[in-house]
Structure 1
Amino acid sequence: MQIKQFKYPVEQSEPPRPARETLPTMYDLPSENPEEPGLPDEFHYLQPNFLSLTFRPSNYSPEEVFNIGNMNLYYDPRHPYWYKRPDWFAVVGVSRLYENQDLRLSYVMWQEAVRPTVVVELLSPGTEKEDLGSTVRLSSDPPTKWEVYERILGVPYYIVFDRYTDELKAFVLMAGSYQQISLQEPKIWMPQLELGLGLWWGDYEGITCRWLRWYDAQGNWILTPSERAAVVQQELETERERAAVVQQELAIERQRAEAERSRSERLAELLRTQGIDPDSIT
């Protein structure tokens, strides 16, 4: 007799699902590259910090403003590890904190979805050509800074400053391309921010030279927190001095009134010795 072998039914597996693309987040992307050329010198640390301290657009609350120097700016979701590192840039209309809760490691465009309003590059010998858009690249190379700011991100204002010649260049995005603005003086007004940026000669952090600094609609340079504190302290000191003068004047007035009262009493006493009632004299 032939024994038939029992065959277990073959379990049907589900067809493989297509892989879902997951772009890296701010936490996945590197925030530093020590081997990158053009690493910041001391001026590249001080100037961006000074810009941040004086960047106070009146038409946005501090919670709607993010600005930083020397931070990776990731711009292309098709090439998520491509980035530029502006010397300084500012974004308005975005949360001050990443997702309203964390300090940023980098600025990732496909997560933030708000482009920078202004980018500032500080010229250095190693990056000058790229900063001014005069470099030629291979088609396989990542785009240059100029291409990213102008064509990919569409940053409205691009500012370039050469501290060796104190030359300020300003480019404004018009019809999709940068047009250099002819500056009668080293200042440019940015209506979108209700702020202007110009060259200021003065002392910052113990260094006296020309600095990029923000100014308001009245042409006043925006004060740093320490400068505002000094102004408040000076106003308090002036107020104390004014109060001291008032107190001194009141004391003099009291002394004058006391002397007048004493003189009147002596005169009244003299009249009484002469048999005259001082109250009868008008």
Structure 2
Amino acid sequence: MVLQYDPKQQCLPSSAELPDSDDTPVDNELQNLIPNLLEAILAMAWPDRQDWFFGVDMGIYYAPSTPAVVPDGFLSLGVERFIGEEGRLSYVMWEEDNIAPTLALEVVSKTYGGEYERKKDIYADLGIPYYAVYLPNPSSSTRARRQRQPLEVYELVDGTYQLLEGGPIWLPEIGLGLGRERGTYLGREREWLYWYDQDGNRLLTPEERVDQTQAQVDQEQARADRLAEKLRELGVDPDSL
């Protein structure tokens, strides 16, 4: 059963009254870098959309008397992208019209965090359609974790998460696929998570967009230089045209 609370019927705390963190530091920088990259790619892919929000290491409050659950990243659709100048302190579901995230993401760290059991059950109870668990360093993980796939994406079916096969995994509610491949982000080369279009093409990162634009500018300049040189060979001053 999906948990929902009606703020008109109960005196519920606001986001300003709730802790904005569980005060648990991440024990691996990838837990922030990976969701930050996904958010940055979305911002480039959806520049005109204002109906989505991507939270990174932000608490989701789903019951007034229950501590927040804190995914490494989550995507909500059908909500305001920006709220005020300071933005959201946390994601309080009774302030978001009881709209649960569409996707929750956990990046597995060295410290056991219940990503494959406890949190999975919580996200299912919240009615989150998709849950992704990424194991960034399988070789340094425990034996039990090494038996897992590096990226597992689950779909909620009749209240239970079912593992989806293949990759990238197409997520129709989002209109994008989620997958993994090697690349470079902030000068760091390794495997990252990326968004993909319906044809399986990876969406570019902001850095790649800049490089692509610069390459196009350089090509246009080279073409103009070649044309100017040919005009000079014909005795025509290109600056006089």
TM-score, normalised via structure 2 length = 0.82
From the CA coordinates, give the structure whose radius of gyration is larger: 1
Distance 1:61 1:233, change over 3 A: same
Alignment of 1:21-170 (within 5 A): 21-34=10-23, 36=24, 39-55=26-42, 61-77=48-64, 79=65, 81-98=66-83, 102-113=86-97, 114-128=99-113, 130-133=114-117, 144-151=118-125, 153-165=126-138, 167-170=150-153
| 8 Å Cα contact 1:59/1:194 also seen in 2 | no
Distance 2:216 2:69 in 1: 44
| 8 Å Cα contact 2:168/2:196 also seen in 1 | no
Q: How far is 1:219 from its partner?
A: 2.2
Higher relative contact order (CA 8 A, sep 6+): 2
Identical counterparts, % of pairs:
33
| 8 Å Cα contact 2:179/2:193 also seen in 1 | yes
| 3-state SS, counterpart of residue 89 of structure 2 | coil
Question: Across the two proteins, how many residue pairs are aligned to each other?
Answer: 217
**Amino acid of the structure 2 residue aligned with 1:47:** I
| 3-state SS, counterpart of residue 178 of structure 1 | strand
| 8 Å Cα contact 1:58/1:193 also seen in 2 | no
Q: Which runs of 5+ in 1 are unaligned?
A: 1-19, 134-143, 256-282
Find 1:240's aligned residue among 221, 226, 240: 221
Distance 1:59 1:44, change over 3 A: closer
| 8 Å Cα contact 2:77/2:102 also seen in 1 | yes
Distance 1:71 1:208, change over 3 A: same
| 8 Å Cα contact 2:28/2:109 also seen in 1 | no
Q: Which runs of 5+ in 2 are unaligned?
A: 1-8, 139-148, 237-241
RMSD: 2.2
Find 2:200's aligned residue among 219, 243, 255: 219
Q: How far is 1:70 from its partner?
A: 0.3
Q: How far is 1:126 from its partner?
A: 2.5
Q: How far is 1:199 from its partner?
A: 0.6
Alignment of 1:181-192 (within 5 A): 181-183=164-166, 186-192=167-173
Q: How far is 1:33 from its partner?
A: 3.0
Q: Cα deviation per residue 1:117-141 (whole Å; 9 max; x = unaligned)? A: 111101123235x2111xxxxxxxx
Distance 1:198 1:21 in 2: 41
Q: How far is 1:55 from its partner?
A: 2.3
Distance 1:60 1:147, change over 3 A: farther
| 8 Å Cα contact 1:157/1:173 also seen in 2 | yes
